[in-house]
């Protein structure tokens, strides 16, 4: 059984014992989180699609790690003007381990 869950404006396929890397969620390492934005539940050949979410369905997970993604670097310059600008960004992210998937009604 697996579900399609939405968090941080993105959709993820999740099943029990999977590890998801999502946009940063509030909480400390070891805290439990419940995601209720379940868009689809697939249990063998039985498929439930929500509009937009499946009622009663939820995903329970624990926070394994709070961290940052790899650095994205960018560089701008204007030729012949001696103008150069370099910057970078590291997006905060949360690693979730899925502990339970509830199918709902």
Furthest C-alpha separation in the chain: 65
pLDDT in tens, 32-85: 999 999 999 999 889 999 889 999 999 999 999 999 999 999 999 999 999 999
The confidence score (pLDDT) of residue 105 equals 66
Total count of residues recorded for the chain: 105
pTM: 0.83
Q: Are 4 and 34 in contact (CB under 8 A)?
A: no
The confidence score (pLDDT) of residue 104 equals 73
DSSP secondary structure of 38-54: EEEEEETTEEEE-SSS-
The CA-to-CA distance between both ends of the chain, in Å, stands at 15
Q: How many helices (H) and strands (E) does the chain have?
A: 0, 10
Q: Are 56 and 104 in contact (CB under 8 A)?
A: yes
Q: Are 7 and 39 in contact (CB under 8 A)?
A: no
For residues 18-25, average pLDDT = 96
């Amino acid at each position: 059984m697996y579900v399609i869950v939405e968090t941080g404006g993105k959709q993820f396929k999740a099943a029990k014992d999977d590890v998801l890397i999502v946009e940063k969620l509030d909480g400390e390492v070891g805290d439990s989180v419940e995601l209720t934005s379940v868009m689809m539940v697939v249990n063998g050949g039985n498929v439930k699609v929500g509009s937009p979410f499946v009622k009663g369905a939820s995903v329970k997970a624990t926070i394994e790690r709070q961290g940052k993604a790899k650095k994205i670097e960018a560089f701008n310059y204007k030729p012949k003007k001696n103008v150069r600008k370099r910057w970078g960004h590291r997006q905060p992210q949360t690693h979730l381990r899925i502990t339970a998937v509830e199918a709902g009604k």
